[in-house]
Amino acid sequence: MAISTSPDRRSRGAVAFLVRLVLPVALIAPTAVLFGLQRQSTDDDSAFAVTERHGVAYLQALVPLEIELVNAQSVAAAGNPVQGGPLTAAVGSAARLDDEYGGELLTYDRWADVRSKIEAVPPTGTPAALFDAYGEAIDLLVDLVDNVRSASGLARDPHAETYNLADGGAQELPEGIAAAGRYAGLVLQARRLPAAAQADALFGIAAARSDLVGSARDLSEDVQRAAQGTANQSLDTSLLTKIDGFSRATDALVPSAETASATLAVDPARFAKDRDDLVRAGADLSASLLSKIDGLLRERVSSLESREAVAVATLVAAILLGLAAPALTLLQALRRRRRRNDAVSNPRPAWPSVAPGPQYDNRERLGAAR
């Protein structure tokens, strides 16, 4: 006898099937969309930070080159011969970084101009002419440093700590170092002038002095804002020590109570020492600032990679959970089909009938005789 399936039972089965079919889509589709959006955002942030790191690497070669140019400018302004070895090595280091990152940071043309200007400085000449020639090269290099800061994204970093440290290390400090070299050179030249001509030279000295003091002040403010933007409200002790050292060196070279004209009467040996101390402090501070910025960016890239790994794990979990219901339904269907096939292939045997034996026949005859 065939067993009919009621319409209600068939409807419930269809509904259950649809639910098991829609459930994976409802779980996986939104997760996949969110994963795609998160993946795009993470990739963009990671690429931005990587470009910033390339900019930092380039700056780590450009600022030492600036230091060598300022040193050469100071030596030339004093009328002494410039040793070209350190400057040539610094140019080579910057050239290698430009070959690596110049296309990405769009610096090929600017670097070519800087290098041409450096190589065009004559090996000999009057102190004033050599001072001006090195000064033009330094100005172009400072412009290149600012261009790298902008093109790499350091000038618009969304994190307060990184942004302020980059503003100090890739703008204020290079400008301050250039101003220190210009200030020291102008003082040396003014001392050779007659007293009547020194008055005109004081305008340039005062301007360079103002630029140096302003850059040092802005650098200090950048560091303070960076400290306020950190999670633990503090910076590395070694970095703070070097910032204090640069500030002290600046105060020693340009005392606030000393006018520009009074600088001309300062002992030349002491003035030269103060200038060397400031440039050396600037070089140490630049190395520490750029290293700190690179460390922050490296940590950010690592954090983004971890976030992406979590997103991938979430998507995989959603897919597995979504496919669990259809997989279970399929297994149950296969199990039922196997049972039906077994039932058709191996039908249940009928109960065997027992034929009447001799005893049954004797009983039957006895009953009839009675």
Tokens of 283: 């070089």
Res. 268: pLDDT tops 80? yes
Confidence (pLDDT) at 308: 63
pLDDT given for residue 304 in this prediction: 67
**What is the rounded average pLDDT for all residues in the chain?**
82
In this predicted structure, the answer to whether residue 302 has a pLDDT above a threshold of 50 is yes
> What is the pLDDT at residue 226?
86
Question: Is residue 2 very low, low, confident or very high in pLDDT (cuts 50, 70, 90)?
Answer: very low
pLDDT in tens, 88-111: 999 999 999 999 999 999 999 999
Upper half-sphere CA count for residue 339 (Cβ side, 13 Å): 6
pLDDT band at 192 (very low <50, low <70, confident <90, very high): confident
Give the C-alpha distances (Å, rounded to integers) separating 67 from 74, 76, 206, 270.
Answer: 11, 14, 22, 20
Confidence of residue 1 (pLDDT cuts 50, 70, 90): very low
The HSE-up count of residue 333 (CA atoms within 13 Å, CB side) is: 8
Greatest mean pLDDT among 9-18, 86-95, 215-224, 318-327: 86-95
The whole-number average pLDDT for the span 268-297 is: 94
* Token pair belonging to 184: 């020291």
| 177, pLDDT greater than 50 | yes
User: Could you give the dihedral angle defined by the CA atoms of residues 73, 75, 77 and 79, in that order, rounded to the nearest 10 degrees?
Assistant: -150
* Average pLDDT of the residues in 176-200: 89
Residue 258: left if φ>0, alpha if ψ -120 to 50, beta else—which one? Answer: beta
* Residue 334 CB contacts under 8 Å (≥ 6 apart), including other chains: none
Token representation of residue 277? 């101390």
Write out pLDDT tens, residues 305-351: 666 666 666 656 666 666 665 666 667 667 777 777 766 676 655 55
